[in-house]
């Protein structure tokens, strides 16, 4: 790698004041210690306690949705989201192949089959124009339900994912959903604090999922949430994720096969403290983007991914897109061996052994992005100056 990259790596180390700069670390201070300590001191660490309700209420308020149901992780949130919108065994679920494997796994837990569609260069998320074209080719509406002519299966839902915090083109996607009578479920695992036309991601879908894993913009250790504006679905999500137990002072009566997916109180305490500082974290992420934009402008044939018009990104993970003059392995080798922890985008899911035979549309953009995208250190810095 040439002088430009040596300087790039050195500037990042200088910015973070570290010799080895991790990809993403959580930001904790006194608030987290205070709330978590309170749980331990009072003994309310597990499935009962007031932090879960407080966290759910504050989260719903932040997202601008009626309800949030806190669960053990983002994958569980997606699983239940898909279940309560009516995804059933042998249904197909449209999703990008360029996503974390959890999106596909959640559909599989219900016996449904992922059906992969392409992303756009502009958003790195599901491309509504290509989706529309694909459904015109393979889809047929019968009694208001969409079927895949090639497999005979029902197509039940569309699950876009807001890659690295960048919102997909939701207006156009909702038009396609309307036209083909499909339910929208947002995988908003990465986009807490991201907005599309001034509205928070995750508030567009009938139901959406957020993740609070350790590497996400805020963390509960492990955790997730189901977001919806439908009170009835929210109540059902709560019921299903708390073993489907009928409330009673002492009897154990459960009215269906439920899940033990409830977020423990101690995790919600951590989450509440994190949520209180989320606006500051987002602001610091945006300042980091401006710094990176300057650094990346010194690299030939490389661009920093920026938010789209109409969108405000949380910039969860900073992303480089390499031009054709590069071999991504050379860049990953250089950066990782020189203290800048960086990662390529996921292996597209249609390439994984368990999903290799799933139905799919043309995935040419996904395939070409695989060898161009990489994430670089993205922990928000505490910028003092404005
Ligand atoms: C993190 C993530 C999830 C799953 O979240 P977990 O909390 O790790 O289970 C799902 N989808 C995407 C796109 C993610 O990035």
How far is Cα 331 from Cα 322, in angstroms, rounded to an integer? 9
- Rounded distance from Cα 189 to ligand 1 centre (Å): 5
Lookup result for tokens 């509440």 = 272
Domain 3-27+278-376 indexed as CATH 3.90.1150.10 = yes
Structure tokens at 156: 């039940």
Lookup result for tokens 């205070």 = 34
CA nearest 348: which of 106, 87, 110, 104? 104
CATH 3.40.640.10 positions along the chain are: 30-276
Buried b (16+ CB within 10 A) or exposed e, 244-264: eeeeeeeeeeeeeeebebbbb
- Ligand 1 closest atom vs CA 211: 7
Segment 82-105, tens digit of pLDDT: 999 999 999 999 999 999 999 999
pLDDT by position in tens, the chain (length 386): 789 999 999 999 999 999 999 999 999 999 999 999 999 999 888 877 899 999 999 999 999 999 999 999 999 999 999 999 999 999 999 999 999 999 999 999 999 999 999 999 999 999 999 999 999 999 999 999 999 999 999 999 999 999 999 999 999 999 999 999 999 999 999 999 999 999 999 999 999 999 999 999 999 999 999 999 999 999 999 999 999 999 999 999 999 999 999 999 999 999 999 999 999 999 999 999 999 999 999 999 999 999 999 999 999 999 999 999 999 999 999 999 999 999 999 999 999 999 999 999 999 999 999 999 999 999 999 875 54
Helices 328-337 and 3-16, interaxial angle, to 10°? 40
Residue nearest to atom 5 of ligand 1 (CA): 74
Looking at residue 384, its pLDDT comes to: 59
- Rounded distance from Cα 65 to ligand 1 centre (Å): 20
275 beta partners = none
- Rounded distance from Cα 231 to ligand 1 centre (Å): 24
Segment 223-232, tens digit of pLDDT: 999 999 999 9
Average pLDDT, the chain: 96
How far is Cα 18 from Cα 36, in angstroms, rounded to an integer? 29
- Ligand 1 closest atom vs CA 75: 9
220 beta partners = none
* CATH classification code of 30-276: 3.40.640.10
How far is Cα 151 from Cα 177, in angstroms, rounded to an integer? 20
CA nearest 237: which of 71, 64, 57, 52? 71
Q: With the C-alpha atoms ordered 328, 191, 294, 337, is the resulting torsion angle positive or negative?
A: negative
185 beta partners = 207
- How many other CB atoms are there within 10 angstroms of residue 139's CB atom? 18
**Element of type H or E holding 174:** helix 170-180
- Ligand 1 closest atom vs CA 216: 1
Segment 187-220, tens digit of pLDDT: 999 999 999 999 999 999 999 999 999 999 999 9
- Ligand 1 closest atom vs CA 78: 10
Lookup result for tokens 């395939």 = 367
Does the pTM surpass 0.95? The reply is yes
Most informative mutation of 74, 103, 216 for ligand 1 (most atoms within 8 A of CB): 74
CATH 3.90.1150.10 positions along the chain are: 3-27+278-376
Pocket of ligand 1 (CB under 6 A): 73-75, 99-100, 102-103, 161, 187, 189-190, 211, 213, 224
- How many helices (H) does the chain have, and how many strands (E)? 12, 16
Q: Give the single-character DSSP code of 126.
A: B
Structure tokens at 222: 């492990």
Structure tokens at 309: 């018009």
- Rounded distance from Cα 211 to ligand 1 centre (Å): 6
């Amino acid at each position: 790698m040439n002088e430009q990259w040596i300087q790039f790596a050195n500037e990042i180390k200088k910015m973070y004041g570290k010799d080895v700069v991790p990809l993403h670390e959580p930001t904790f201070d006194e608030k987290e210690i205070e709330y978590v300590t309170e749980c331990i001191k009072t003994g309310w660490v597990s499935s009962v306690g007031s932090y879960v309700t407080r966290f759910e209420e504050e989260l719903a308020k932040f997202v601008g949705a009626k309800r949030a149901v806190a669960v053990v992780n983002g994958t569980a949130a997606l699983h239940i989201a898909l279940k309560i919108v009516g995804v059933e065994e042998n249904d197909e679920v449209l999703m990008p192949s360029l996503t974390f494997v959890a999106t596909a796994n959640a559909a599989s837990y219900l016996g449904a089959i992922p059906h992969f569609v392409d992303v756009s260069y502009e958003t790195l998320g599901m491309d509504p124009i290509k989706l529309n074209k694909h459904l015109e080719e393979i889809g047929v509406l019968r009694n208001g339900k969409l079927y895949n002519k090639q497999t005979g299966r029902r197509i039940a839902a569309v699950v876009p994912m807001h890659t690295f915090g960048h919102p997909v083109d939701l207006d156009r996607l909702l038009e396609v959903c309307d036209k083909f009578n499909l339910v929208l479920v947002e995988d908003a695992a990465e986009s807490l604090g991201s907005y599309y036309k001034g509205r928070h991601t995750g508030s567009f879908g009938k139901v959406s999922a957020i993740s609070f894993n350790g590497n996400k913009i805020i963390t509960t250790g492990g955790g997730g949430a189901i977001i919806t504006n439908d009170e009835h679905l929210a109540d059902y999500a709560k019921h299903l994720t708390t073993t489907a137990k009928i409330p009673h002072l002492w009897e154990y009566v459960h009215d269906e096969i439920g899940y033990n997916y409830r977020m423990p109180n101690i995790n919600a305490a951590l989450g509440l403290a994190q949520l209180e500082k989320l606006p500051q974290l987002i602001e610091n992420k945006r300042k980091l983007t401006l710094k990176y934009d300057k650094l990346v402008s010194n690299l030939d044939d490389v661009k920093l991914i920026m938010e789209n018009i109409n969108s405000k990104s949380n910039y969860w993970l900073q992303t480089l897109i390499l031009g054709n003059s590069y071999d991504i392995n050379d860049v990953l080798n250089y950066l990782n061996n020189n203290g800048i922890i960086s990662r390529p985008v996921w292996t597209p899911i249609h390439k994984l052994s368990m999903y290799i035979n799933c139905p799919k549309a043309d995935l040419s953009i996904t395939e070409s992005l695989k060898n161009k995208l990489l994430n670089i250190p993205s922990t928000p810095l505490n910028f003092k100056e404005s």
